[in-house]
Structure 1
Amino acid sequence: MKNEKETREKLLSCAKEEFMEKGFQNASLRQICSRAGVTTGAVYFFFKDKDGLFSALVEPTYQGVMGALIHHLQEDMEEDLATYVHKPGDHDPFVEELIHVLYQNHDAVTLLISKSTGSKYEHVIDEFIEMIEKNFMGLSEEYARSVPGKQLNRPMVHWLSHLSIMTFVHLLTHIKDEKKALRFMKPAMEHLILGWMNFILEDKEK
């Protein structure tokens, strides 16, 4: 049992190096196994295939990020935008939670957002954007109905959803330190929230 556990961990370690260096699509199972000192049969025994090996590295982090986003979106759904008054720092707990998840698992997140082409995770950024957009489209439609003479600006909601996720992607690729990332993201989140509040509605077409 100990040898099996050690072999599995060695494969994961060598696979992470290979995936980080070459990305999923160009990574070689043969090279991973050579680094780990095992045959390719070990990969099929523990992980079934290359996709399974990649999943073992990124799935827990993927679930952690999804969980943080879903928790945040559920809280937002409980807000009444018609009476909501934004206060600076309202979203700090969410920012702190998500930044911590992202930076405690920085390598796995890097694999997800920039090394996953060819794997089942290759559209993960679009998946996050779609989830944000779907949630805020519903919330914003309800808000629009409460404001006379206004309607939902759908292209703006789509753009802001995209911008929200890509801000985190930018953060991860340019700032390596968690504390510095948090200092950057708190005011960035304020900017995003004000964008939502000020621009998701437009005058009704006559």
Structure 2
Amino acid sequence: MPGRIAGVSKRLIDVAREEFLNNGFENASIRTIASKAQTSPRAIYTRFENKEALFDAVVKTGFEEFKAMYTKEREAYWERAKKRDFSVEPEKIYVKFIEYAYEHKDDFILLLKCSKGTRYENFCKDIADYEIKGVEDNVPVLFQTDSGEAMTYFVESITYSFYDNLFSPLVSGMDLKTAKEYVGMLTRFYTLGISMGEGKALFEK
């Protein structure tokens, strides 16, 4: 079997990134990617099992880095919360997330707008589900009342809404400074909603 030509995989990923950004995963064309990368569809399938594997290669590094950062920050937050330590304001954590998204703009546009048909298409919902579990595990008193069913629905609703809107400044083209201000406002609104669900200022210092 002939050896692979050095640099072809990187060129494919660069061209694929542009094609996915322009057309989304579902409408992206392997033939177009191959043509622009000056190779053949067969060469692509030699390196990547299918179109989704190519999409995965484009976004995986940014996604995995964000996932690791997100998980670390949220776990650390809940550990501090158990000790009633709220020295790190929630909005500072989420501002860090939006800063990362702006630094990796193409990856996040792909995840947020272009990933339908891939395992990433529920990106925001998956994060929200993780957050909801964190609330359920760390603030169980919220759900241990006669209104437990309503509270579950409430927490799910505001959490899904929060994450659906967290990265909207990036998608809309807002500048980073304004986006950070927006995320601060959004986070304070969200955490206050969770706090009031418990009947007291859960997140106050």
TM-score (norm 1): 0.82
More deviation, 119-128/135-144: 135-144
**Structure-1 separation of matches of 2:192 and 2:23:** 39
The 3 A distance-change label for structure 1 pair 99 and 105 is same
Shift of 1:144: 6.0
Which secondary structure does the structure 1 equivalent of 2:134 belong to?
A: helix
Whole-angstrom CA distance in 2 between matches of 1:121 and 1:196: 27
Cross-structure match for 1:58: 59
Verify: 1:4 aligned to 2:2, yes or no.
no
1:168 paired residue number: 166
Range 17-26 or range 44-53, more displaced = 44-53
Q: How many angstroms does 1:101 deviate by?
A: 1.6
Looking at structure 2, the residues matched to 175 and 97 of structure 1 have their Cα atoms a distance apart, in angstroms, of 18
Separation in 2 of the partners of 1:199 and 1:124? 26
Compute the displacement of 1:125 (Å). Answer: 2.3
1-structure distance, mates of 2:4, 2:181:
43
Tell me if the contact between 1:68 and 1:94 (Cα under 8 Å) persists in the aligned partners: no
CA distance in 1, matches of 2:105, 2:174: 8
Distance 2:4 2:43 in 1: 15
Amino acid at match of 1:95: Y
Q: CA deviation at 1:2?
A: 10
User: Mapping of 1:51-200 within 5 angstroms?
Assistant: 51-80=52-81, 84=84, 90-142=89-141, 152=148, 153-200=151-198
Q: Number of residue pairs matched?
A: 196
Q: TM-score, normalised by structure 2?
A: 0.82
**Distance between the aligned counterparts of 1:49 and 1:138, measured in 2?**
38
* CA spacing shift, 1:80–1:181, aligned 2, 3 Å: closer
State the distance in 2 between where 1:100 and 1:168 align: 12
Cα deviation code 1:8-55 (max 9, x no counterpart): 222112111111111111111001111111111221222222111100
Residues 64 and 101 of structure 1 are in contact (CA less than 8 Å); yes or no, is this contact kept in structure 2?
Answer: no
Q: State the percentage of identical aligned residues.
A: 20
Distance 1:187 1:125, change over 3 A: closer
Deviation at 1:56, TM superposition (A): 0.9
Alignment match, 2:203: none
- Distance in structure 2 (CA, Å) of the matches to 1:80 and 1:96: 19
Q: What do residues 132-188 of structure 1 show as CA deviations (whole Å, max 9, x unaligned)?
A: 11111222214666xxx7764111110121022112132222244323321221222
**1:99: Cα distance to partner?**
1.5
Aligned-residue Cα RMSD (Å) equals 2.7
| Aligned twin of 2:36 | 35
Alpha-carbon spacing, 1:85–1:4, altered in 2? closer, same or farther (3 Å): closer
Task: After TM superposition, give the deviation of residue 80 of structure 1 in Å.
Answer: 4.3
State the alpha-carbon separation in 2 of the partners of residues 161 and 11 from structure 1.
Answer: 37
Name 1:47's counterpart in structure 2: 48
The gaps in structure 1 that reach 5 residues or longer are none
